[in-house]
Amino acid sequence: MAVLVLLAIGAVVLVRALTSGGKGVTRGGPLACPECNTDVSMSMDVGDLGTFGAANLQNHGKGQPVLERVAYLHRTPGLLLLGPLVARNPGVGLIREFPPRGLNGKLHLMRGYGVPTYRQPEDDVDILVGVSPLREGTFSFRGLDVYYRVGKRHYVTTYDMGVRICAPGSVPQDLCEPPPPIG
């Protein structure tokens, strides 16, 4: 009997470990987007600022996800990252300014921002990251882990959306290739 109880407990622990992002964090959730992947690149001069639309969030759940933080995946040293900020449906891919002009009053700090239920494209919420090369070279990150909560439940989901910045700005675009996908 004790062996059966131990096996049952072990099975529960295994299932939780396989579905968890660690320490009570579930992988996926209502912001999960397994098909969200893109990789972009741009040449910039050292110290110039750019904005990268690093994740496009759509809430497909009933509750309101509240954003907590991001973790940059496969980040190389030498790339200054600013923000992140969020905005509803800003239409920013990768541009040479930070923060983006024309979004005054629409930009918010990411931490604590509630993502509305998705009904139409205007309900999209984009995570915007400021990028700036600190020296000449090639710098990147290959995606984001977005941490958020719905009520008391915590989630993390991966966005396979990477950026590469090549400095100086005179590097031809065909020599500044986007980073490879995460997986």
The per-residue pLDDT for range 121-149, each reduced to its tens digit, is 889 999 999 999 999 999 999 999 999 99
Residue 79 included in any domain = yes
Does residue 6 lie within any of the structural domains?
Answer: no
Query: Confidence class of residue 23 from pLDDT cuts 50, 70 and 90?
Result: low
Q: Which domain holds residue 90?
A: 25-175
Indicate whether 7 belongs to any domain.
no
Residue 42 counted as domain residue: yes
Q: Is residue 171 part of a domain?
A: yes
pTM confidence score: 0.84
Establish if 18 belongs to a structural domain: no
pLDDT in tens, 46-86: 999 999 999 999 999 999 999 999 999 999 999 999 999 99
Q: Is residue 180 part of a domain?
A: no
Please give, one letter per residue, the 3-state secondary structure of 33-95: CCCCEEEEEEECCCCCCEEEEEEEECECCCCCCEEEEEEEECCCCCEEEEEEEEEECCCCCEE
Q: How many domains does the structure of the chain reveal?
A: 1
CATH for 52: 2.60.40.10
Tell me how far CA of residue 16 lies from CA of 22, 28, 72, 142, in angstroms. 9, 13, 25, 27
Within-domain flag for 5: no
Q: Residue 101 pLDDT more than 50? A: yes
